Amino acid sequence: MSEHNSPSKVVVIGGGYAGTLAANRLRARPDLDITLINPRPDFVERIRLHQYVARSGEATIDYDTLLGSGIKLVVDRATRIDTTAREVRLASGRALDYDYVIYAVGSTGAAPAAVPGAAGHACDVAEWESARRLRARLDELPLDAPVTVVGGGLTGIETAAELAEQGRGITLVCGSALAPTFSAAGRRYIAAWLTRHGVAVLEGVSVTEVRQDAVVLADGGVRPSALTVWTAGFGVPDLAAASGLRTDGIGRLLTDETLTSIDDDRVIAAGDAAAPSGRPLRMSGYAAGPLGAQAADTVLSRLAGTEPAVIELAFSGACVSLGRRAGIRQLARKDDTALNLYIGGRAGAAIKELTCKFVVAKRIRREAARPGSMGWPKGGPRPVGAAPGVRGVTSA
């Protein structure tokens, strides 16, 4: 713990979109000792991992170009937050003491244990390490080998499209529906593009088993699959639960609307691993920036002895790339419900690319140059009350 009159210590766990931005924004107060813990030496652009897998783009950036001066980067993995001693324990055996922690560990891929063979045979594209393994597997496959992508959400669509544009034979198994959060017109546009590029889109069908060379569908069908990519669903690291902090059913840290842990006001969450009021925001790079900024502002408010603000974020829609030459920008209301309006084709692709660059250049790097400068569309405070069925859990 910091001694009297020494700089307050803030440890940011996780160097993704939310954590990196939060670390930069904390520099608005010059007397802070800021440490960023990340298991990798480079920043990973998760929204470009499908490009990395298909060898149509790169997905890492040197932290030296992203972090503001004075921020210490520790390449290690946090294994426990000791809220009594106020220490973050690391896999290397080190322990970092803190006055505040920003918990920004992000999310992971999650092949369900309930689906036989999924954990053993399916690959995912949710993290750098798994994307690198998937890329190596693809390099070993003939171009005409059948590939199955499981999951009709945005990651599944982008992965299927990127591989189809290479000329690979892709089956996209959507489960309930293709792009379920998009408008009907937007879904039709995506389906038409995929069909034109040879992707077999299966809606209303789920995978019940993954074999080394095939997938088994709920309707009893068996489809050859030399490689299966699982993009349905996601999980989060178990650090919060392992630290005795309450989480929701899948492990996101339970917080109030200021992103403060309901168990410890020295622990502030941001990004995919936060569940404010048990009602997490949509997993997205769009939300990660404002949540990282909000977490930093909450810490700065507590240090200043003022009341932290509550979450106010207005959504505007989502972008999906369809290979390198097409895309779709789905417009939405502030509450994230889709409007019957989208921009497709090359214009959609250009908007998606600008969005990817904006997240890094206009959010993270701008905060490094001018801490506290980032703003975002406000949607007003969220309605009070936890979502039905949310449960809190702790580690044993």
> Contact 170/147 with Cβ under 8 angstroms?
yes
According to DSSP, residue 306 is labeled: -
pLDDT in tens, 339-395: 999 999 999 999 999 999 999 999 999 999 999 999 999 999 998 764 433 434 443
Classify residue 37 by its DSSP letter. E
DSSP string across 82-135: ETTTTEEEETTS-EEE-SEEEE----B----TTSTTHHHHEE--SSHHHHHHHH
Q: What percent of the chain has pLDDT over 70?
A: 96
Contact 301, 10 (CB under 8 A): no
First to last CA, the chain: 26
pLDDT digits (tens, 9 = 90+) for 58-71: 999 999 999 999 99
Tokens 């290397």 label which residue?
A: 92
Distance between CA 337 and CA 239 in Å, rounded?
A: 32
Q: What is the largest CA-CA distance in the chain?
A: 68
Query: What whole-number percentage of the chain has pLDDT above 90?
Result: 91
Residue 231 sits at φ, ψ, to 5 deg, of -120, 5
Which one-letter amino acid corresponds to residue 384?
V
Residue pLDDT, tens place only, 81-99: 999 999 999 999 999 999 9
pLDDT level of residue 56 (50, 70, 90 thresholds) = very high
